[in-house]
C-alpha cells in the first residue's frame, strides 16, 4: 500500500542550529513533492515545491532535496528560530489519478 513516513519522533533543537526533517515514501512515483507548515488549529501553509527532475531547491533559510532513487526528501531550516516551531508536512503529488498524499508530519520545537 502507499506509505509516506516522516520523522517518527518530535524534533527539538537549539535556536541557531539547522533542523533536518525527513520524508520517505514507498510505492509512489511523484511528479512533485511539496512541504507545508501547520500551526495548531490552522490550515497548512505552503513552503516549497520541488519537481521530480530537480535535486535541490532553496528559499531564504529553507532548503529541500529530492532523491527519487532513494525515495526520500530532506527539508532543512538553517539558523532556526523559536518562530519556526510548528508541524511540518511533506506532500506528494501523484500524476496517476491526480492524487495528493500527505505524510503524518513532524513536530519541530526550537528551544531559545
Partner 1 sequence: ETGVTQSPTHLIKTRGQQVTLRCSSQSGHNTVSWYQQALGQGPQFIFQYYREEENGRGNFPPRFSGLQFPNYSSELNVNALELDDSALYLCASSFQVNNEQFFGPGTRLTVL
Interior CA angle at 58 toward 62 and 50, to 5°? 105
Q: Which of 14, 18, 26, 104 binds partner 1 (CB under 8 A)?
A: 104
The smaller minimum CB distance to partner 1, of residues 4 and 110, is found at: 4
Starting at the edge strand found earlier in the chain, the sheet holding 19-26 runs 3-6, 19-26, 72-77, 62-67, 56-59
Would you give the DSSP letter of residue 27? S
* Cβ count within 10 A of residue 89: 23
3 makes contact with partner 1 (CB under 8 A): no
Site string for partner 1, 17-56 (x = CB under 8 A): --------------xx-x-x-----xxxxx--x-------
Spatial separation of the C-alpha atoms in residues 101 and 28, rounded to whole Å: 10
- Minimum CB separation from partner 1 for residue 72, in Å? 17
CA 59 centroid distance within chain:
13
**Min dist. Cβ of residue 48 to partner 1 (A):** 9
Least Å distance between CB 45 and partner 1?
Answer: 7
Residue ranges that bind partner 1, judged by CB under 8 A: 4, 31-32, 34, 36, 42-46, 49, 89, 91, 93, 97-105
Amino acid at each position: 500500500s502507499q506509505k509516506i513516513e516522516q520523522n517518527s519522533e518530535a524534533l527539538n533543537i537549539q535556536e541557531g542550529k539547522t533542523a533536518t526533517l525527513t520524508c520517505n515514501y514507498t510505492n509512489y512515483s511523484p511528479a512533485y513533492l511539496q512541504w507545508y507548515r501547520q500551526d495548531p488549529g490552522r490550515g497548512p501553509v505552503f513552503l516549497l515545491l520541488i519537481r521530480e527532475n530537480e535535486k535541490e531547491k532553496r528559499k531564504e533559510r529553507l532548503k529541500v532535496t529530492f532523491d527519487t532513487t532513494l525515495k526520500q526528501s530532506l527539508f532543512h531550516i538553517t539558523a532556526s528560530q523559536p518562530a519556526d516551531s510548528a508541524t511540518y508536512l511533506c506532500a506528494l503529488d501523484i500524476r496517476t489519478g491526480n492524487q495528493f498524499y500527505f505524510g503524518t508530519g513532524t513536530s519541530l520545537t526550537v528551544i531559545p
